[in-house]
Amino acid sequence: MSDDAKKLRLFDTHCHFDFDVFAADFEHHLLVAREKGVERFVIPSIGAQNWQRAAQLAERFTSQIYYGLGIHPYFLQADSEKTLADLEQSLIHAGRECVAIGECGLDGVVDIPAPLQERILLAQFSLATQARLPLILHSRKTHDRLIYLLKQARFTYGGVLHGFSGSYQQARAFTDLGFKIGVGGVVTYTRAGKTRRAISQLPVESIVIETDAPDMPVCGFQGQPNHPGRLVEIFKALVSLKDMPALELSQQLWRNSCQLYGLDEERSAAGHEVKP
């Protein structure tokens, strides 16, 4: 490994490290990722079923793991109004490791009524405004509608559009509203021409990287659970797309990620702290 490679500090801005696939030997998976240069992680929650687990991991692995609290459109239920009330209470009692609202958003493919999705999403916009936290946004075939709702709500705390797949024009619509673009495994596939072109055109200041582990596999690892350690493969693809020195790009991405989540850039740089 070159001296420059040793200095790379990577931040997985969106990984579901709390999912069962990692639970049996979590510390091993964390070590594997850290050996690849991944120093920080944000766990976006999907609903009440994993708020506590995400918070517990962040409390245990301080300065490494952070989390978001939210309700994913996949998991909306008939009692989602009660879940919103529970979310508000969870935010009140959340510690400093809670750095975002999400994962929340819209999905044009799942069989969940659009009016319900939008109602719950707008409520989460309001909670994010109250808490002065950014949003972790999910959007599938709903970019235009999501942009409209963000403008209508006059949301000003920014966030990230996670797992971006789309055109340059769509990406810029979000960055114009103060959002970062979450670049994941899709850019490792040469067939993803439209998304790769969009990412190559975006200002590097508008980009963060993510794995969405255990989902969104990177090229060469199809059929396997994704892993935060594979963030380095996404980073390598981005180095090629942006035609930048690896160290310079990693430093910019680190700054972007820390800015996104309101974190000190230098905290925990020398290692990790684990609470018993």
Spatial CA neighbour of 199 closest among 232, 234, 223 = 234
Residues 6+ apart with CB under 8 A from 210: 12, 13, 14, 15, 162, 163, 182, 183, 184, 231, 234
At which residue do the structure tokens 């979310």 appear?
Answer: 87
User: Which amino acids are annotated as binding site, given as ranges?
Assistant: 14, 16, 103, 138, 162, 212
| Structure tokens that stand for 219 in this block | 């090229």
Which of helix, strand or coil describes residue 2? coil
**d(C-alpha 231, C-alpha 30), whole Å:** 13
Task: Report the C-alpha dihedral over residues 254, 273, 44, 235, rounded to 10 degrees.
Answer: 30
Residues 6+ apart with CB under 8 A from 145: 106, 118
User: Which amino acids are annotated as binding site for a divalent metal cation, given as ranges?
Assistant: 14, 16, 103, 138, 162, 212
**d(C-alpha 92, C-alpha 86), whole Å:** 10
Q: Burial-class residue 201 by CB neighbours within 10 Å (0-12, 13-18, 19+).
A: middle
**Cis ω before 214 (30° cut-off from 0):** yes
- Contact in structure between 216 and 188 (CB atoms under 8 Å): no
Residues 209-229 as b or e (16 or more Cβ within 10 Å = b): bbbbbbebbbbeeeeeebbbb
